[in-house]
Amino acid sequence: MYSDYYFIHGLDIYYLILVIPAVIFSMWAQSKVNSTFSEYSSHTTYSRMTGFEAARRILDANGLRHVNIERVSGSLTDHFDPKANVIRLSDSVYSSPSVAAIGVAAHEAGHAVQYAVGYAPIKVRSAILPACQIGSQISWPMIFIGLVMNSQFMINLGLVLFASVAVFQLVTLPVELNASNRAMDALAMSGSITDNELYGVEKVLKAAAMTYVAALAASLAQLLRLLLKLGNRNRD
């Protein structure tokens, strides 16, 4: 019977072998980025260039003087808002001359450059974002309703909506990696930080990249679990 294979003493075997490892990986990745950022936040750059100054230099070097930089509260709340053409840097980045702050600020400037040059993956991510936001909100209710009503159409629709979240994570990964590469290249060409400081920036950005890898792994694990679970249900 389906239930004999799917459950072991009341435990969801697919959850145990797919989702829990992905959750552990996500927790490790988040811990790694926090510890790495904290470590390199104590390393002050020789030039004492702040996060704001690093982002401003990269923007200006790419002809993006119209992109503003604002300060926002919180820690690691940094982001680029393409609609407002604004980079928002957190308190721990904006006025800090640390290696960590330089890396984060340069990364966000990298996103602004991506939009300016028409980098294809970020266009795709922006285009599918609304659908993915809807999918993340209603996919589980659709699947639940489909199970209650015994409607395969509703279940399949819920799976497609859930899969859109995984697709978004898949597209996000190269976008983030490319922004980090642009940041590293811009900082190296500027000559404003030393080789040792650039190494620290690389470590910070690599740690941040792992959180996106973990997010993709978590989405794929949940999607695979659902496909296996519902596939077994149909064969039962």
Q: Which residue has the higher pLDDT, 26 or 74?
A: 26
Full-model pTM: 0.87
Looking at residue 229, its pLDDT comes to: 82
Tell me, rounded to whole angstroms, the distance of Cα 68 from its chain centroid.
23
Tell me, rounded to whole angstroms, the distance of Cα 87 from its chain centroid.
17
Parent domain of 106: 2-235
Residue 24: other Cβ atoms inside 10 A: 11
Helix, strand or coil, per DSSP, at residue 90: strand
Q: Which residues pair with 88 in a beta bridge?
A: 70, 79
| Amino acid sitting at position 137 | Q
Instruction: Please tell me which residue in 53, 108, 176, 197 is annotated as part of the active site.
Output: 108
- Residues whose CB is less than 8 angstroms from the CB of residue 168 and which lie 6 or more positions away in sequence, other chains included: 125, 128, 129, 132
Average pLDDT over residues 103-110: 97
Tell me: pLDDT of 204 over 90: yes
108 included as an active-site residue: yes
Residue where the block lists tokens 């690599």: 206
Give the chain's domain count: 1
